[in-house]
Amino acid sequence: MKYTLWNLSLTLSLAIISLAAAAQPPQKPAQPADQAVRPAGPVRSPEVHADRTITFRYRDPAALKAAVAIDVNGAPLPMEKDADGIWSVTTPAMAPEIYGYHFVVDGISRLDSSNPQATPNLVGLSNLVEVPGDGPQPWDARDVPHGIVHHHTYKTATVLGLSENQSDYYVYTPPGYDEKAKQSYPVLYLLHGWSDDASGWTAVGQANLILDNLLAEGKIKPMVVVMPLGYGDMAFVHDHDVWNHASTIDHNVSLFEKSLLTEVLQQVEAEYRVSKRREDRAITGLSMGGLESLTIGLEHTDMFAYVGGFSSAVHQLDATQTFATLDPKKADLKLLWIACGVDDQLIAPNRKFIEWLKGKNMPVTQIETPGRHTWSVWRDNLIHFTPLLFGEK
């Protein structure tokens, strides 16, 4: 808001100066200094170059310090200010990817007002910029058949803290989806992370485009994908400190589990042509959603035969207590797939949890990739996880 008011103030000031200049007698020609006073032009940001570097720009002549924080970097990149008060920095060459970023100006996070591409988020907004590859990427919109993303709202009796108790979920139906098909479709429950809303996997994760492209390449089976709001109590999203309290985490997961299994799942199975067989159900998610998918999936192996977790927030999980009755033979999972980026702070808790599962003789596929706690890792996880679903074994 301060940035917006500053721009408004600057615009009004420049307008007054221009009017004053226009009122001068014609015999007094304008001085060069007067000619330099004009409304500030637009700032081009971000600018993606052919060599895959990115130039970020931000106008604030009064700022003392500015930097750009890019989600895949460990620290913000310092920016330099020019004579016009525009801060800028050019990155090294970046890999083809969609990046999230924001500015840090005198210690305060700022959006890039020159870029309309922003992420939906309940805690902190950021902008998006894509560095293209030599050809189409898995998350790009290609000339292939496209599925449909449906948005549903419903009155929840479980989730706390929602206005008028109105919760929501998204459903992806594959190209050619036939609600009267002879054979029911398998279904994947895909959960977002903390601070995202129910649109996270489509708005930022590009899940629908990834699925379209994988289907066109014959790499996955046609499936329905359900992306619900991932909170049991909306108070859980108000403060980062919640992740330091196991009881608060358990409270949120417990309520979400109830809303998913007694509300969302039942509505989806009533409204869509999806199978009710455990062999045709999968569940996975990222971060908070990874904790939820692992908890729900391993506690309900009678309902889900495929269970995954991406960068799962298992750092407060008491596996021995939570999964006290877990039996690998009774579970009979077709897939247990746990992935995390090696530069993610959650890598150690994920490794510890995987070791615990192995100690229980649970067959588990452990995946470690380069990367931090970012969407670039989770898109890649989705690309590699979904082809493993709903096979014949």
Residue-wise pLDDT tens digits, 90-105: 999 999 999 999 999 9
Let me know if residue 142 belongs to a domain.
no
Within this chain, do residues 84 and 182 fall inside the same structural domain, yes or no? no
Q: Tell me, what's the pLDDT at 297?
A: 98
Question: What CATH number has the domain bearing residue 99?
Answer: 2.60.40.10
Same domain, 108 and 186: no
8 assigned to some structural domain: no
Q: Tell whether the model's pLDDT for residue 18 goes beyond 70.
A: no
Which domain covers residue 86, as residue numbers? 40-131
- Assess whether 111 and 182 both reside in one domain: no
What is the predicted pLDDT for the residue at 240?
82
Distances 26 to 23, 29, 30, 32, 44 between C-alpha atoms, Å: 9, 7, 9, 16, 36
DSSP letter string over 327-372?
-HHHH--SEEEEEEETTSTTHHHHHHHHHHHHHTT---EEEEES--
Q: Are residues 82 and 200 in the same domain?
A: no
Q: How many domains does the chain have?
A: 2
pLDDT score of 392: 66
> pLDDT digit string (tens) for 24-38?
334 434 444 444 444
Work out whether the CA dihedral 237, 238, 240, 242 comes out positive or negative. negative
Biggest CA–CA distance in the chain, Å, is 96
What number is the average pLDDT over the span 266-295?
98
244 in a structural domain: yes
pLDDT in tens, 176-206: 999 988 999 999 999 999 999 999 999 999 9
- Percent residues over pLDDT 70 in the chain: 89
Considering the domain architecture, whether residues 177 and 322 belong to the same structural domain is answered as: yes
pLDDT digits (tens, 9 = 90+) for 240-259: 899 999 999 999 999 999 99
Contact present, 223 and 215 (Cβ < 8 Å): no
CATH number at residue 321: 3.40.50.1820
Structural contact between residues 85 and 66, judged by C-beta atoms closer than 8 angstroms: no
